[in-house]
């Protein structure tokens, strides 16, 4: 059962001139096919209806991450097979990460009320309104702008799960973050430091300064340095970029170290390098080192945990640039150049008022 929210709904926010469009439409970036940035269209569409366990968020900012690019492109094709939509995305509104204020709540929602400032993982955040499951939402840390909060959920949640759940990080350990200048890596470096690790970050030449500024103890330039030089060994490796072979990862690990395979963009159009991730646990059966893949989960509980670090300022979101909603295609083109330092935020103005 769904609760269709309308301007007459008593749980809907009518304050500050931000009331929903009376006709039930909103501006959004919609994609009706997989493809290049040209499939992203800024146009009116129906406001989402929320279920009993969902929250309607009036979006103030959204985050752009690699996952949203994969959903635009429909690649790797494996994505289509596992349920995101075979010929076109099941959910036409693009974007996942969201920050904003609660406009309405479903009847079973207990943790949030109209007006709360929140952030989380939605089904369609490049829009004026987004529906979010209560369990994928958390209260936005005070002191964080909506733009900063919007670039946290998927990337920082993935970094936290890679370090703590899959990686079982302990204070004092040596951690190598391959892909330290990107969305996931920029959080991984800061979180690993906050958790007491000695951190080495791997990135391209142009972003080594960013990785240093995030707090990395050492940096490696993947165009010049070999992290698997046989001289340095790490208790934990987060493999987020470059798709190195399992052999190279093992060479850089301590005899009982752990490598967590998170992702990489060079893995091919069918499986996106998933074969390497599947082989990792098999290899692990026969060696003392642990090689494991991460399929991150969208959890509000991670966001509550991250809020402690964000509120304390020990983790600061790296916002490269912000783009207004109607310039999402430009934002996506910027992501495709590989020049983004950290994350891109999309801002949603108040054309509703």
Ligand X SMILES: NC(=O)c1ccc[n+]([C@@H]2O[C@H](COP(=O)([O-])OP(=O)(O)OC[C@H]3O[C@@H](n4cnc5c(N)ncnc54)[C@H](OP(=O)(O)O)[C@@H]3O)[C@@H](O)[C@H]2O)c1
Stretch 242-271: interaction string toward ligand X, x if CB under 6 A: x-------------------xxxx------
Which SS3 state, helix, strand or coil, does residue 236 take? strand
Place of tokens 């030449």: 205
Contact 102, 56 (CB under 8 A): yes
Cα–Cα distance for residue pair 246/228, rounded to 1 Å:
11
CB of 289 to ligand X, least distance (A): 19
Binding test (CB under 6 A) with ligand X, winner from 95, 182, 257, 329: 182
Q: Which of 307, 302, 301 is nearest to 117 (CA)?
A: 307
CB of 64 to ligand X, least distance (A): 9
Q: Which CB sits closer to ligand X, 40 or 203?
A: 203
Q: Which CB sits closer to ligand X, 104 or 335?
A: 335
Cα–Cα distance for residue pair 85/165, rounded to 1 Å:
29
Question: By CB under 6 A, is residue 79 in contact with ligand X?
Answer: no
CB of 340 to ligand X, least distance (A): 6
Stretch 281-320: interaction string toward ligand X, x if CB under 6 A: -------------xxx------------------------
The tokens for 333 are 């083109």
Q: Which of 181, 225, 196 is nearest to 309 (CA)?
A: 196
The tokens for 180 are 């330290």
Q: Which CB sits closer to ligand X, 183 or 317?
A: 183
Question: By CB under 6 A, is residue 74 in contact with ligand X?
Answer: no
Cα–Cα distance for residue pair 48/4, rounded to 1 Å:
8
CB of 129 to ligand X, least distance (A): 25
Stretch 128-167: interaction string toward ligand X, x if CB under 6 A: --------------------------xx--x---------
Strands (E), 225-281: 234-239, 253-261
Question: By CB under 6 A, is residue 202 in contact with ligand X?
Answer: yes
What sign does the dihedral 230-233-236-241 (CA atoms) show? negative
Binding test (CB under 6 A) with ligand X, winner from 144, 184, 246, 325: 184
Binding test (CB under 6 A) with ligand X, winner from 66, 193, 290, 299: 66
Cα–Cα distance for residue pair 48/300, rounded to 1 Å:
20
Contact 140, 146 (CB under 8 A): yes
Q: Which CB sits closer to ligand X, 170 or 205?
A: 205
Give me the residues that bind ligand X (CB under 6 A), please.
Answer: 65-67, 154-155, 158, 178-185, 202-204, 207, 222, 240-242, 262-265, 294-296, 338, 340
């Amino acid at each position: 059962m769904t609760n269709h929210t309308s301007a007459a709904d008593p749980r809907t926010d009518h304050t500050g001139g931000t009331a929903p469009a009376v006709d039930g439409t909103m501006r959004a970036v919609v994609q009706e096919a997989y493809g290049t940035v040209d499939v992203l269209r800024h146009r009116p569409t129906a406001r989402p209806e929320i279920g009993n366990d969902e929250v309607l968020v009036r979006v103030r900012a959204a985050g752009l991450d690699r996952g949203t690019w994969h959903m635009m492109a429909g690649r790797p094709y494996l994505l289509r097979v596992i349920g995101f939509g075979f010929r076109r995305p099941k959910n036409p509104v693009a974007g996942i990460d969201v920050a904003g204020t609660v406009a309405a709540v479903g009847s079973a929602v207990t943790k949030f009320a109209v007006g709360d400032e929140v952030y989380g993982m939605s089904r369609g955040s490049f829009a004026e309104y987004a529906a979010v499951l209560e369990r994928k939402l958390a209260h936005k840390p005070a002191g964080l702008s909506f733009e900063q909060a919007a670039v946290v959920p998927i990337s920082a949640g993935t970094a936290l799960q890679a370090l703590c759940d899959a990686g079982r990080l302990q204070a004092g350990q040596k951690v190598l973050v391959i892909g330290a200048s990107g969305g996931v890596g920029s959080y991984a470096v800061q979180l690993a430091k906050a958790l007491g690790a000695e951190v080495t970050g791997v990135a391209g030449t142009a972003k080594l300064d960013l990785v240093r500024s995030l707090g990395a103890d050492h940096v490696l330039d993947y165009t010049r340095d070999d992290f698997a030089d046989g001289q340095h060994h790490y208790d934990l490796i987060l493999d987020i970029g470059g798709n190195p072979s399992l052999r190279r990862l093992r060479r850089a690990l301590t005899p009982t170290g752990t490598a967590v395979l998170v992702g990489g963009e060079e893995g091919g159009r069918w499986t996106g390098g998933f074969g390497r991730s599947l082989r990792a646990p098999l290899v692990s059966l026969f060696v003392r080192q642990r090689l494991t893949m991460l399929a991150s989960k969208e959890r509000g509980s991670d966001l509550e945990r991250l809020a402690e670090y964000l509120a304390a300022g020990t983790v600061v979101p790296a916002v490269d640039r912000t783009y207004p909603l109607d310039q999402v295609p430009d934002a996506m083109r910027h992501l495709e150049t590989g020049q983004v330092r950290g994350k891109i935020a999309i801002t949603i103005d108040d054309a509703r008022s």
